[in-house]
């Protein structure tokens, strides 16, 4: 791999990614291996918690607020627009349940979405809200089909930045423009996009976005971000309200209920402190390297994966338009069972997964030529 951006990726690999000692790891769309620094934070948290209990808590709480600044910076949001959540699913539910629905409203989404971006909206049927699903065509979800599914009842378009099983990348700028013009709120499930792709909520007027950190953002499970555009904060019904949701949360009189005027009102109880501290270390790594450089590098490796897979006799599933592609590379080969392919790759130390009947390869910044060679040999050997 060439090094076009001036970052020493080999050193980064050696210093920060112990996973490379054993595996050629291509499964970031499933779950990330932790960078060394993010694992160290977890060890340090456990040590301090065991030795000092609550004594170190104020410093850790201050660190959480610094992490909020970093997360906000990553997506160009205001810190008050960021709430920490325990999963993408959690974030989707907070918006689906809190949205100011009227009987007869509808939500539009894609039929191939991950279930967590379908069930919370389906669950609104008892409140008179229906979900309309658009099918893809040849691996593409056409904007015209989304438009055709909308009418005056449509209040929300909920879509993944990148589809988990096909790797199709939605054009968020076009969708945001469309939603703005129609007065429809745009919810983005960003867990398969954020990291390999850049999201700037100032440039792209998204209303809501949720992403857990455990895939492309290289964090542990159970710690992620919810973005709520400022002008929505007062318009949504806050769900999961608790001691931490109110102004002066540490010493508020019991009978005074004044919600914070920020997205922190959704952080009702104690933080997942170890998870968020570790997530913060991973976000710090992104910011240190530069999110644009990270994105470039991951997409470059994904391109290399497509090339070697084609050379190894596999067909690349999905749209061939560059703008539709993401860091998720989806492969198929006639007569090959993708589950068996995953098992065979695994035997050779190559980690990948099978989703919806196809082989899914999802690289990250630290994969190198050696990993690619192992993947190629693995793909060639599957019969």
Ligand X SMILES: Cc1ncc(COP(=O)(O)O)c(C=O)c1O
208 binds ligand X (CB under 6 A): no
362 binds ligand X (CB under 6 A): no
Closest distance of CB 318 from ligand X, Å: 15
Q: Judged by CB, which is closer to ligand X: 226, or 382? A: 226
Q: Which part of the chain contacts ligand X (CB under 6 A), choosing from 1-9, 185-193, 270-278, 302-310?
A: 185-193
Q: Judged by CB, which is closer to ligand X: 16, or 212? A: 212
192 binds ligand X (CB under 6 A): yes
Among 16, 77, 83, 88, binds ligand X (CB under 6 A): 88
Q: Judged by CB, which is closer to ligand X: 117, or 245? A: 117
Q: Which part of the chain contacts ligand X (CB under 6 A), choosing from 87-95, 128-136, 246-254, 290-298?
A: 87-95
Signed CA dihedral, 87, 89, 91, 94: sign only? negative
Backbone φ and ψ of 346, nearest 5°: -60, -40
276 binds ligand X (CB under 6 A): no
Question: By C-alpha distance, which of 316, 311, 329, 317 is closest to 379?
Answer: 311
- Distance in angstroms (rounded) separating the CA atoms of residues 103 and 130: 9
How many beta carbons lie within 10 A of that of residue 29, not counting itself?
28
Q: For ligand X, how many residues bind (rule: CB under 6 A)? A: 12
- Distance in angstroms (rounded) separating the CA atoms of residues 372 and 311: 12
Closest distance of CB 130 from ligand X, Å: 21
160 binds ligand X (CB under 6 A): yes
Closest distance of CB 335 from ligand X, Å: 28
Asked if residues 217 and 195 have their Cβ atoms less than 8 Å apart, the reply is: yes
Closest distance of CB 78 from ligand X, Å: 23
- Distance in angstroms (rounded) separating the CA atoms of residues 256 and 268: 15
**DSSP 8-state class, residue 264:** G
Cβ-based neighbours of 10, under 8 Å, separated by 6 or more: 368
Strand arrangement of the beta sheet that strand 353-355 belongs to = 315-316, 329-332, 358-361, 353-355
Q: Which part of the chain contacts ligand X (CB under 6 A), choosing from 82-90, 201-209, 245-253, 288-296?
A: 82-90
Q: Which two tokens stand for residue 327?
A: 């860091």
Closest distance of CB 50 from ligand X, Å: 28
Residue carrying structure tokens 């009947």: 357
Closest distance of CB 187 from ligand X, Å: 11
Among 114, 121, 208, 232, binds ligand X (CB under 6 A): 114
- The residues pairing with 169 across neighbouring beta strands, listed in sequence order, are 162
191 binds ligand X (CB under 6 A): yes
Question: By C-alpha distance, which of 337, 328, 276, 271 is closest to 305?
Answer: 328
Q: Which part of the chain contacts ligand X (CB under 6 A), choosing from 41-49, 81-89, 98-106, 138-146?
A: 81-89
Closest distance of CB 370 from ligand X, Å: 27
- The residues pairing with 164 across neighbouring beta strands, listed in sequence order, are none
DSSP result, 182-228:
HT-EEEEE-TTTBTTB---TTTS--SEEEEESSSTT---TT-EEEEE
- Distance in angstroms (rounded) separating the CA atoms of residues 105 and 296: 40
Among 24, 84, 89, 260, binds ligand X (CB under 6 A): 89
Q: Judged by CB, which is closer to ligand X: 302, or 308? A: 302
Q: Judged by CB, which is closer to ligand X: 88, or 264? A: 88
Among 45, 121, 164, 314, binds ligand X (CB under 6 A): 164
Q: Which two tokens stand for residue 381?
A: 């050997």
- Distance in angstroms (rounded) separating the CA atoms of residues 328 and 29: 7
Q: Which part of the chain contacts ligand X (CB under 6 A), choosing from 113-121, 249-257, 289-297, 373-381?
A: 113-121
282 binds ligand X (CB under 6 A): no
Closest distance of CB 324 from ligand X, Å: 16
- Distance in angstroms (rounded) separating the CA atoms of residues 289 and 68: 18
Interface with ligand X (CB under 6 A): 87-89, 114, 116-117, 160, 164, 189, 191-192, 212
């Amino acid at each position: 791999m060439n090094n076009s951006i001036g970052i020493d990726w080999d050193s980064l690999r050696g210093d920060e990614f112990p996973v490379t000692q054993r595996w050629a790891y291509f499964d970031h769309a499933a779950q990330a291996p932790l960078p060394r620094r993010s694992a160290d934070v977890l060890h340090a948290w456990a040590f301090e918690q065991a030795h000092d209990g609550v004594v170190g808590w104020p410093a850790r709480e201050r660190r959480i607020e610094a992490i909020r600044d970093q997360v906000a910076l990553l997506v160009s949001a205001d810190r008050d627009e960021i709430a920490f959540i325990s999963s993408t699913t959690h974030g989707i539910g907070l918006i689906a349940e809190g949205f100011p629905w009227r009987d007869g409203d509808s939500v539009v989404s894609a039929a191939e979405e991950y279930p967590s971006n379908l069930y919370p909206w389906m669950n609104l049927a008892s409140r008179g809200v229906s979900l309309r699903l658009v099918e893809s065509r040849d691996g593409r979800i056409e904007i015209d089909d989304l438009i055709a599914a909308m009418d005056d009842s449509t209040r929300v378009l909920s879509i993944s930045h990148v589809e988990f099983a096909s790797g199709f990348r939605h054009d968020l700028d076009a969708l945001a423009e469309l939603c703005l013009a129609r007065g429809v709120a745009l919810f983005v499930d960003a867990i398969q996009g954020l990291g390999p792709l850049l999201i700037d909520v100032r440039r792209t007027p998204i209303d809501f976005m949720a992403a857990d950190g455990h895939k492309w953002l290289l964090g542990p499970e159970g710690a992620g971000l919810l973005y709520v555009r400022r002008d929505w904060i007062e318009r949504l019904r806050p769900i999961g309200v608790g001691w931490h949701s109110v102004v002066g949360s540490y010493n508020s009189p019991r009978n005074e209920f004044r919600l914070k005027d920020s997205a922190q009102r959704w952080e009702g109880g104690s933080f997942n402190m170890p998870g968020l501290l570790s997530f913060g270390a991973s976000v710090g790594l992104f910011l240190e390297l530069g999110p644009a450089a990270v994105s470039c590098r991951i997409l470059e490796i994904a391109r290399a994966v497509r090339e070697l897979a084609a050379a190894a006799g596999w067909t690349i599933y999905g749209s061939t338009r560059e703008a539709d592609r993401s860091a998720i590379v989806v492969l198929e080969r006639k007569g090959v069972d993708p589950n068996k392919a995953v098992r065979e790759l695994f035997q050779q130390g190559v980690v990948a997964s099978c989703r919806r009947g196809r082989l899914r390869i999802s690289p990250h910044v630290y994969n190198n030529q050696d990993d690619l060679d192992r993947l190629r040999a693995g793909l060639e050997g599957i019969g």
